[in-house]
C-alpha cells in the first residue's frame, strides 16, 4: 500500500536520512567500538575468538548503561591479557561508575585509566 503512495526515490531518501540521523546520534559509541576493535583485532598478532568475544562483552557492558553510552569522554577501551586500559577524560564524573562496570566483566583482573592503575579512578571517587 505504501508503495503506491510514496515513490521509491522518496522512500529511499527517507531511509537514508533515518540511517544518517541514527549514526550521527550514536557517533561516539560507534567510534569507540571501531577504535577498540580495530586495535584488538588488527593491531595485535595474538588474536583469538575468545579475546574478540571478551572485548565485545566489555564494550557491550559499557553500551547498555544509559549514563555511559555515547559518552564522548570515553575514547577507547583496550585489553592486554586480563588488563583493561581505558582512554578517558579523568575529570569525567561517571569514571567511577565506568570502572565498576568494567571490573564486573568476567576475566578482567586490572583496570588502568590512561596508563595509570585504577587507583586514579578511586581517587576521583573520593574527591567527589
81 lies in a domain? Answer: yes
68 lies in a domain? Answer: yes
43 lies in a domain? Answer: yes
Cell numbers at residue 47, please? Answer: 588474536
What Rg do the C-alpha atoms of the chain give, in angstroms?
19
Cell numbers at residue 58, please? Answer: 566489555
Q: What angle do CA 127, 94, 66 make, to 5 degrees?
A: 160
Number of domains in the chain: 1
Whole-angstrom CA distances from 101 to 5, 39, 48, 110, 113 are 48, 21, 24, 12, 14
80 lies in a domain? Answer: yes
105 lies in a domain? Answer: yes
Using 50, 70 and 90 to split pLDDT, how confident is the model at 118? low
Residues 96-106: pLDDT tens digits?
Answer: 999 999 999 88
14 lies in a domain? Answer: no
13 lies in a domain? Answer: no
Residues 26-66: pLDDT tens digits?
Answer: 888 888 887 777 777 776 656 677 777 888 888 899 989 98
Q: Is the pLDDT of residue 72 over 80?
A: yes
55 lies in a domain? Answer: yes
What is the domain extent for residue 79?
28-127
**pTM of the entire structure?**
0.67
How confident is the model at residue 32, as a pLDDT? 81
How confident is the model at residue 112, as a pLDDT? 93
Residues 9-26: pLDDT tens digits?
Answer: 777 888 888 888 888 888
CB 112 within 8 A of CB 83: yes
Amino acid at each position: 500500500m505504501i508503495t503506491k503512495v510514496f515513490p521509491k526515490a522518496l522512500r529511499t531518501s527517507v531511509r537514508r536520512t533515518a540511517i544518517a540521523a541514527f549514526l550521527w546520534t550514536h557517533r561516539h559509541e560507534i567510534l569507540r567500538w571501531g577504535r577498540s576493535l580495530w586495535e584488538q583485532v588488527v593491531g595485535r598478532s595474538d588474536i583469538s575468538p575468545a579475546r574478540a568475544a571478551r572485548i565485545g562483552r566489555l564494550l557491550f557492558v559499557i553500551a547498555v548503561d544509559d549514563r555511559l553510552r555515547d559518552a564522548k569522554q570515553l575514547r577507547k577501551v583496550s585489553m592486554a591479557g586480563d588488563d583493561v586500559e581505558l582512554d578517558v577524560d579523568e575529570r569525567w564524573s561517571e569514571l567511577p561508575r565506568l570502572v565498576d562496570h568494567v571490573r564486573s566483566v568476567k576475566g578482567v583482573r586490572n583496570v588502568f585509566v590512561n596508563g595509570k592503575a585504577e587507583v586514579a579512578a578511586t581517587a576521583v571517587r573520593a574527591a567527589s
